[in-house]
Structures are given as structure tokens and as C-alpha cells.
Chains A and B, each alone.
Chain A
Amino acid sequence: MSNTLKNLLHSPKFMVGFILFIAILLTILIYPLFNPGNPLEMIGVGTFAKPGTYISLYDATSSQKETLKIANAEEKRIAAALSDEDRVKMLEWLSAYGVDVTEVDASNTDAILELWMANYNPDASIKGFTKSETRNFRLIQNRITELMSADTLIIYEEGAEDSKSKIVKTDYVNLNAIANVKTLPLGTDNFGRDVLKELVSAAGTSIIIGLIAGSVATVIGLTLGLLAGYLGGNADEIIMFITTVFTVIPGFVLLILISYSLGQDQRGPTIVAIVIGCTSWTWTARSVRSQVISLRNRDHVNLSKLSGHSLGRIILTDILPYIASYVVMAFILQVSSGILSEAQLSLLGLGPKTTTTPTLGLMMNWAMLYSAHTNGSWWAYFPVILTIACISFSLNLMNTGMDQVFNPALRD
């Protein structure tokens, strides 16, 4: 036993998987301590706020101002105001106007601006542009001139005629002096929830679903496999018949049927996990059975039989310890496939009904429902995919590592 553990510690695959999994678990446990509260709290009113740090504009305008003269502030401001598309459009206009722009890179604001200011003529009629495009060029021009000319932003108080406060381009406030700063490393989702907070909580729920599903599948598979393998004869025939039938009928289909039949009100995360477990036990049963058959006629088992030990005792003391490693490996794979099943089910809209805890599949489902994938809000789904991949990658690595330790033929 200790030798096996030593070998496992020497297996780089197992260790990488193990450390990765522990790191994920620790994040799930520790992150809520720094960012407590309901993970489904809708902090944003709009949808899909980009990742980044948000500062309260109100606090910023009322904070103590300092005047700082920073050389390229103007240029940065214009650069930030021009989108990538604007730049491309500007270059298009310039080249259509006859300016040589082959040397100019779209990210070089300085160069584009210089050429633009020197050449742009709103009245020039250039063939090949539609009316709306021509209008768009004027808008770009207006924005640039506005940014370059206006020095002051004036904020009016409601109802008052005279200005309340003036903001000059060279006004700066200290970030530390602003009372309300919120960092959203992964932005917000379609409901305006903090994606990172939601993700950490969802990963936790999904792992629990995986563990429950894995346990259910392992218990069913192990029991049936042990009985079929040890008893043999008719019991084996019947159990293997059932197992073969359920191996060929896709578990996913059963999952859909059962989940739909259950109805949404019955479908809590635990129920979904149990249903997943009930549809995925077949290959555990198969592999346990074949292991047991190879053990059944070993000397120590026969000795136990001759000594009149009970079935339960023989299985517990003479068979289980020998197949324990296979069972653990099967369990690990079941956990990972349980997490994946939940995600697929949720994507179909048959996921757990929940108002308090998100799951990885539900996050994915919400993101798809609100078209995050086509409107470029990558932060709403990409971290979810990455999390699922990392969890199942770590579990599979552990499994492969164990497989190599226990089945030396696979060693490299």
C-alpha cells in the first residue's frame, strides 16, 4: 500500500492532476471569504459589462482634484475614443482619397491622426462609399475635433441654470480617494451578476453534483459488478443483460427523458446529480465484474469459502481490497463525466432548477440564451468552458497516472 502511494507520488501525471484539482478546490473554498455574499446577486443593471475595474463617476467628480500635465494624455484620449473599426474606416477613406497608407499600421493612432487631420475633407466626394458611410466619416471627424477643442466638461445640477462644477482636461483624482471602486475581473453576465463570483460558486456546485453522480454510479456499478462477477451463473446473466442493454442505449437520452419527466419543480441539483448517476453506472459494473471474475478463483478466496465465511465477508475482505484501485479510478472518471453531463443537460434547458446556486451548465445555458457567443461577450462563457476543462483534465490526469501505476503495461 505505501509502495503504491510512493509510486503515485512519483507519477508526474497523477501529481499534476492532483495539484490542479486541489488548487481548484482551494479556490472554491477560499475565494468566497474575500468576496462574500450571494453569488446570484445582480449588481449590474445592464447586461454583459466588460471585465475591468469600475470606479464611481459620482465619487470621482466630487473628489479633490489635482492638476497634472501629462505629455501624451491627449493622444491617449483620442486613441481610446477611436474603435478599431473607426481606424480601419479612416484608413479606407484616406487610401480612397489617394493618400499612401501602406506604411501605416491600424494601431498607430499618431500616424493615422496626423494623416487624417492633414487630408480629411468632408466635402470631397469619393466614389465607392455609401451615404451612411460618408455620414459616419463626418461623425468620426466631429468626435475628434470635439475631443481636441473642448477643454472643459461642465456638469449641471438638476434644475440649476449655472454650472455646478467644471472638469478640465488636466484634472486628476487619486484612485485611493475614490470611495467606490469595484473590480470585476470577469465582468458581469446577462443578468448583471459578477461572473467570477458566480463561476467560483458554480464550480463548487458542479463538483458536488459530480461527486454525488459519481458516488451513485459507483455504488450501483460496484454492487451489480460484484454480484455478477462473484455469483456468476444466472445472476451474472441477468445483470449483464441489463448492463449491456443500458450500455447501448445512450445514457444522455435516458437523462433527457427522466429529467423532462421529472418536471422543473422536482429538479434540484441533488436530484439531477442522482439521475445522472443512475444513467452512467454501466461501465463501472462491467469493469468491476471482469476484475471480480479474475479474482473469484484465487486461492485466498477459495480458502475463505472453505472456511465458511459469509458472502458479505468474502466480498469485503477478500475481493474489495483487490479491486479498490479500479473502483477509485472508475469513481474519478464518473465524477468528471457527471460534471459534463450536468453541463450538457443544462445547455438543453433541462438543468437543475435553482434560484440560489448557479452550476457551470446553467451559466453556459444563460450565456447561450443571451447570445454571449455571438455578441463577443467571451467572459460570460469562456471562463466556464475553461473551468470545466480544467476540472475534468485534472481528474483525468489523476486517473491516467493511477492507471500507469496499477497497470505497468501502460508505463512509458
Chain B
Amino acid sequence: MKGYRKYFTKKIVWFLITLFVAMVLNFVLPRLMPSDPVAAITGKMAGQTTDTAAVQEIYSRFEEEFGTNKPMIVQFLIFLRNLFKGDLGTSFSQYPRKVSDIISSSIGWTLALQIPAIIVGWIIGNVLGAVAAYKKKGWDKIVMPVTMFISNIPAFGSAVILLYLFAVKWKVAPVAGGYAFDMIPNFSWAFVKSVIEHYQLPFWSIVLISIGGQAIGMRSMSIYELNADYVKYSRFLGIRDGKIVGYVFRNAMLPQVTGLAMSIGGSVSGALVAEIIFSYPGIGSTMYAAVTAADYPLISACTLIITIMVLIATLSLDIIYGFIDPRVKAAQFDA
């Protein structure tokens, strides 16, 4: 148990440090802009609206929130304080809506879409990779190159292709949105059905994105494990091949949990872009709208939320991994 505690403490400390660095970056990067950042940021936005009175109001309000007239460290403390209060500022493009309000209405969609999709993609990818490693002949020669090619189609690419095929050509799925545009969210059966229909394409396109990388990783891992000495040894003790394959896949699969933790940042960015293609009402689309409207507070909040989501996902995976792989415990005793 001592080993575990050390491992988890280490992981949690890392999480906090990284979170802090992420916040600092989120704070510092826009302030590194040459000239007056408030003028630059609001200037971008001002180019898109003609209501000068509104621009003026936004400008003064933002100046106050951004706090450029105070020393950097005070600005940072204000930033942190607001952050912990859940105050992420006021949106430019949807003025005077609060950013935290916009984020909270889209984060649920993103979580409900991405978590299941990434997990399903991970499972399918691992099974395919394991099978490809074991049944070398046909699978390896045909399925693997195809999987490899598919995994090289960028996330937005497979999303667009799915959209074209299913929504435009065959018309079996809706083109855009999280639910039919003429509906108001409620818990009626019609609405749930609409949500499920709209869920399919984004879901499967994210699954597709995650499969390729995982399958390839799992295949190399499995091939490595299949050549491990314990395989030969177990065979020479008369253990059935089926059982040995079980050992191999368990051992290959466990590090894939860490693999997922390492790659989750990449998968999430791909998945966010896929959201844009389907105009899915999640963080990805919100961020796209924010960039298009030069809505700085919203962009900043989106990047921060994405980072926090990724950090939490990574931490959870690390903790799960610590429990399921005895190698982690042993490594802690060695250290």
C-alpha cells in the first residue's frame, strides 16, 4: 500500500503543478502581445460590429476584467480569484452573456460525446490491434494497411466523409446540430430520439479517429509481448496457446491505458475539430464561433476548459493504471 500511496501522491502533485502552469500560460500568452492587448483584442472584435456604443462599453468592461492598468502579479491574482469563483469574464460576441454560462451549456455535450466515443474507439482499436498481431497472415497483410491508411485520414477528414455519405448522399442521418433545430431541449421522447439521431455521426467519426492509433499501438505492443521470453517458457511448460495469448493481451493492453493517457490530448483536439464539422453544440463549436467572432474571453475560457478536461482525464487514467498493473507497484518499491 505504501508503494501505491507514493505513486498516487506523485501523480496528484504533478496534476496540480501542470494545472498551475496551464493557468499561467493561459494568462501570460495573450499579454505577451505587442502594444496594448486590450486595444488589440477588442479592436479585432470591433471590426465586426458597427454599434460603437456597444464597442465602447465592451472595451471599458474588458479593460476592467483584464486589468491592464495593474501590475502583472496583481492581474494574475485577480485572474486566479475570478477563476475560482467560476467567473471567466463576459463574452464579446454574445454580450452581455457570461462566458461561464456559455461554457457550461456546451461542456455537457462535449463530455457526453467524447468520453464514450474515445472509450469505444480504444476498445475496438485494441481488439483489432491484438487480432492483427496474433493472426499475422491475412489480417496483418490486409487489415493493417487499411487501418493504417484510415488512421492517417485527419479527424476532420473522416468526419466530413461520414457527413457526406450518411447525411448528404444517403440522408440517413441529420446534417448538423445536437438535436433538431426546431426543438427546445426537454425530456420528451421526441427530443431524446432527435438527440440520439444527431449523436450517431459525431460519435462514430470520433470512434474512427481513435481506432487507428490505438490499433497500431496495440499491435506493436502485442508483437513485442508475443516475442517475450515468458511466451516461449509458458509454451514449454505445456500451457495452451489460447491461455498464453490471454497473458500476452493482458500485458499489452495494460500499457495501452497509459498510451491513452498520453494520446488523449491529441484525440481531444481531433474530436473538437470533428464537432465543428457537425456543428455539434460542444466546446469545439463554441471555440470555432469564438475564433470567428474574435471573442477573446470565450477563446481563453475554451482553451482553459479543454486543458483541465485533458488533465483530469490523464490523472484518472494514471490512477486506474496504478491499480490494474502490478508493474507500477513494483516500480515504486524499486525507486
Contact = CB atoms under 8 A, between A and B. Distances in A.
* Chains A and B in contact, CB within 8 Å: yes
Interface of A: 244-245, 247-254, 256-258, 260-263, 336, 340, 343-344, 347-350, 364, 368, 373-374, 376, 378, 381-382, 385, 388-389, 392-393, 396-397, 400, 409-410, 412
A96 B118 CA distance: 48
Closest 7 CB pairs of A and B: A250-B265, A252-B269, A385-B157, A393-B152, A392-B152, A389-B153, A253-B303
Nearest to A249: B22
A192 to B, nearest CB: 21
B310 A340 contact: no
B36 to A, nearest CB: 12
Contact of A409 (B18, B175, B227, B296): B227
B288 A389 contact: no
A244 B44 contact: no
B62 interface: no
Nearest to A336: B152
B22 A389 contact: no
A209 to B, nearest CB: 14
B224 interface: yes
Interface string B166-185: 01110000011000000000
Given A249-B21, A250-B268, A348-B287, 13 more contacts: A253-B265, A256-B299, A257-B30, A258-B29, A260-B30, A260-B299, A347-B273, A368-B277, A374-B175, A376-B168, A382-B160, A385-B154, A385-B157
B153 to A, nearest CB: 4
B148 A348 contact: no
B266 interface: yes
A297 to B, nearest CB: 19
Contacts of B169: 376
Given A258-B29, A344-B154, A385-B153, A410 B224 contact: yes
A412 B136 contact: yes
B40 interface: yes
B314 A248 contact: yes
Interface in B124-139: 136
A391 B168 CA distance: 27
B204 to A, nearest CB: 16
Interface string B142-155: 00000011001111
B17 interface: yes
B311 interface: yes
B67 interface: no
Nearest to A376: B168
A248 B291 CA distance: 24
A409 B223 contact: yes
Given A343-B154, A344-B154, A389-B153, A409 B303 contact: no
- Chain B: interface secondary structure? helix
Given A261-B30, A373-B163, A385-B153, A248 B273 contact: no
Nearest to B318: A248
A378 B164 contact: yes
Contacts of A245: 17-18, 21
Nearest to A286: B262
A257 B303 CA distance: 7
B59 interface: no
Contact of A344 (B33, B223, B269): B269
A348 B288 contact: yes
A340 B154 contact: yes
Interface string B248-263: 0000000000000010
A251 B22 CA distance: 11
Contacts of A388: 153-154, 157
Interface residues of B, number: 59
A195 to B, nearest CB: 15
23 contacts: A245-B17, A248-B310, A249-B21, A253-B269, A253-B306, A253-B307, A260-B30, A261-B29, A262-B33, A263-B33, A263-B44, A340-B154, A348-B287, A348-B288, A348-B291, A368-B160, A374-B167, A376-B168, A376-B169, A385-B157, A392-B152, A393-B148, A409-B223
Contacts of B276: 347-348, 368
Contacts of B33: 261-263
Nearest to B32: A261
Interface of B: 14, 17-18, 21-22, 25-26, 29-30, 32-33, 40, 44, 136, 140, 148-149, 152-157, 160-161, 163-164, 167-169, 175-176, 220, 223-224, 227, 262, 265-266, 268-270, 272-273, 276-277, 287-288, 291-292, 296, 299-300, 303, 306-307, 310-311, 314
A389 B154 CA distance: 7
B262 A247 contact: yes
A271 to B, nearest CB: 14
Nearest to B220: A410
A343 B155 CA distance: 10
Contacts of B17: 245
Nearest to A248: B18
A335 to B, nearest CB: 13
Contacts of A249: 18, 21-22, 25, 265, 307, 310-311
Given A249-B25, A260-B299, A412-B136, A389 B157 contact: yes
Residue of A247, A348, A392 with highest tally of chain B CB at under 10 A: A348
Nearest to B224: A409
B265 A248 contact: yes
Contacts of A244: 14, 18
Contacts of A257: 25-26, 29-30, 299-300, 303
A250 B277 contact: no
Contacts of A410: 220, 223-224
B156 A343 contact: yes
A250 B269 contact: yes
Given A257-B30, A373-B160, A376-B168, A252 B153 contact: no
A396 B22 CA distance: 31
Contact of B311 (A248, A258, A261, A340): A248
Nearest to B158: A385
A349 to B, nearest CB: 5
B269 to A, nearest CB: 3
A103 B248 CA distance: 56
Nearest to A392: B152
Nearest to A244: B14
B266 A252 contact: yes
B30 A393 contact: no
Contacts of B296: 260
